[in-house]
Amino acid sequence: VDQTYIMVKPDGVQRGVVGDIISRFEKKGFKLTGLKLYQCSKDLAEEHYKDLKLKSFFPKLIDYITSGPVVCMAWEGCFGVVASARKLIGATDPLQAGPDTIRGDLAVPTGRNIVHGSDSPENGKREIALWFKEGELCEWTPVLTPWLRE
Ligand code: GTP
Ligand code: MG
């Protein structure tokens, strides 16, 4: 089983595209195992993006992520969920993101690119554990599983 942490950033919430974003992952056939609206602390945002601490845009990034509520999501699939979700999201710079991707369709500047997706299965696990508490994740069996998995 493969898991990824997807997060609608504060601009996505403010712009009313949460439903559109969730819908794209649902339609792809991923299984939603965690979902919440959440105002995160500076500490949590810094821990989440700790690999970028030395970048010049880091303070701006932390201000952005903490500027309003985000939608935290855990999505699961049999394999390739992390890479597949990154494809649905599109390139970091929305101008480089292909058509029919979330960022390509809905965003313009890199600093307002409306959604986050884990960049590796290890980070998927790390980020889900960071953003969700025990008991907030839900294990369930979608009835469509035989039609979505070989
Ligand atoms: P995430 O899914 O949010 O992790 O984006 P990513 O994996 O496509 O890119 P990366 O992890 O390298 O950067 C994290 C976030 O920092 C990006 O999504 C942007 O919001 C922001 N960011 C990255 N590069 C720049 C930049 O050059 N300028 C600004 N203002 N923000 C940037
Ligand atoms: Mg990243």
User: What's the pTM value of the predicted model, to 2 decimals?
Assistant: 0.97
The pLDDT value given to residue 113: 98
Q: What is the model's pLDDT at position 94? A: 98
> How open is the CA angle 21-150-142, to the nearest 5 degrees?
50
* Residue 98, both tokens: 């292909």
Structural domain count, the chain: 1
Give pLDDT tens digits for 71-108. 999 999 988 999 999 999 999 999 999 999 999 999 99
Residues in contact with ligand 1 by the CB-under-6-Å rule are 52, 57, 60-61, 92, 110-111, 113, 116-117, 119
pLDDT tens-digit map of 110-141: 999 999 999 999 999 999 999 999 999 999 99
Burial class (CB in 10 A: 0-12, 13-18, 19+), 112: middle
Q: Is 76:1 a contact under the CB 8 Å cutoff?
A: yes
pLDDT digits (tens, 9 = 90+) for 39-55: 999 999 999 999 999 99
Binding-site residue numbers for ATP are 9, 57, 86, 92, 103, 113
Ligand nearest to the CA of 12: 1
From CA 47, how far away is CA 79, in angstroms rounded? 27
Residue 16 CA to ligand 2 center (angstroms) comes to 23
Q: What pLDDT score does 150 carry?
A: 86
Q: How far is CA 128 from CA 6, 7, 117, 136, in A?
A: 9, 10, 11, 10
Give the separation between CA 134 and CA 29, rounded to whole angstroms.
Answer: 25
pLDDT at position 133, please?
Answer: 97
Q: What is the CATH number of the domain that holds 50?
A: 3.30.70.141
Minimum CA distance residue for ligand 1 atom 13: 92
Measured CA to CA, the distance from residue 107 to residue 91 in angstroms comes to 11
Specify the amino acid at residue 140.
Answer: W
pLDDT value of residue 149 = 86
Distance from chain centroid for Cα 33: 13
**The complex's ipTM?**
0.97
* Atom 18 of ligand 1, nearest CA residue: 92
Q: Quick one: tokens of 73?
A: 């999501």
**Which residues carry out catalysis?**
116
Provide the pLDDT for residue 78. 83
If you measure from the C-alpha of residue 132 to the centroid of ligand 2, how many angstroms do you get, rounded to a whole number? 18
Q: What is the extent of the structural domain holding 67?
A: 2-148
